Amino acid sequence: MLAYRQHMSRPFRLIVAVVAIYAFCWVKDWPRYYDDEELPPSKRPPPQTSVGPHRVDHDQLVVSVTTTANDVYSKLAPLILNTPVEDHGSLLLFSDLQTEIGSWPVFDVIWRFASGFVAETRELRRYRDQVDYARGSRPIYKLQKGDAEEEKKELATLDKYKILQSMAAAWEYRPDRSWYAFVGDETYVHRPHLLDWLSQYDAGAKHFFGNPPTQGVPAVFAAGGNSFILSRQVMKELFTDRKDLIKKWEKQIESRTSAFELVFGVLKVELKLDMVAAWPGISGFDPSTAPFSPTLWCEPVLMMHHVTPDMGSDLFKLEKERADNHLTDTPLRFADLWTRFMTPENLNDTRTDWDNLSSESSNARWNILFEGDPPDSERAKKREASPEACQEACVNTAYCMQWSYSSIPQKNWNDNPPTKCHLSSSIRFGAHAEPREAKIDVSGDRDGEKDLLTWTSGWRKQKFTAWASQQRCKAQHQ
pLDDT at 310 exceeding the cut of 60: yes
- 303 beta partners: 189, 282
What amino acid is encoded at 298 in this protein? C
pLDDT at 93 exceeding the cut of 70: yes
Query: For the chain, what is the mean pLDDT?
Result: 87
Lowest mean pLDDT among 215-224, 453-462, 469-478: 215-224
pLDDT class of 441 with cuts at 50, 70, 90: low
Q: How far apart are CA 90 and CA 228, in angstroms?
A: 16
Query: Beta 61-66 vs 91-95: how paired, if at all?
Result: parallel
pLDDT at 108 exceeding the cut of 80: yes
**What pLDDT is stored for residue 36 in this prediction?**
44
Residue 379: is it exposed, middle or buried by C-beta count within 10 angstroms (0-12/13-18/19+)?
middle
Locate the domains of the chain by residue range.
2-43, 58-277, 351-465
**What pLDDT is stored for residue 163 in this prediction?**
97
**What pLDDT is stored for residue 40 in this prediction?**
45
Lowest mean pLDDT among 170-179, 199-208, 224-233, 392-401: 224-233
pLDDT at 222 exceeding the cut of 90: no
Q: Are 418 and 370 in contact (CB under 8 A)?
A: no
**Which is more confidently placed, 299 or 379?**
299
Q: How far apart are CA 68 and CA 46, in angstroms?
A: 44
Q: How far apart are CA 145 and CA 127, in angstroms?
A: 14
**What pLDDT is stored for residue 414 in this prediction?**
86
**What pLDDT is stored for residue 150 in this prediction?**
95
**Residue pLDDT, tens place only, 313-363:** 999 999 999 988 888 888 999 999 999 999 999 999 999 999 999 999 889
DSSP assignments along 76-129, one per residue = IHHHHHTS-GGGGGGEEEEESS-EEETTEEEEESGGGS-HHHHHH-GGGHHHHH
pLDDT at 368 exceeding the cut of 50: yes
pLDDT at 216 exceeding the cut of 70: no
Structurally, at CATH architecture level, domain 58-277 sits in Alpha-Beta Complex (3.90)
pTM of the model: 0.85
**Which is more confidently placed, 27 or 350?**
350
Q: Are 132 and 209 in contact (CB under 8 A)?
A: no
Work out the average pLDDT over 391-414.
Answer: 94
Lowest mean pLDDT among 88-97, 302-311, 378-387: 378-387
pLDDT at 48 exceeding the cut of 50: no
Which of 364-368, 436-440, 447-451 has the largest mean confidence? 364-368
Which distant-in-sequence residues (6+ apart) come within 8 Å of 296 by Cβ?
Answer: 280, 290, 334, 426
**What pLDDT is stored for residue 143 in this prediction?**
95
pLDDT at 445 exceeding the cut of 60: no
**What pLDDT is stored for residue 328 in this prediction?**
80
Lowest mean pLDDT among 48-52, 218-222, 252-256, 399-403: 218-222
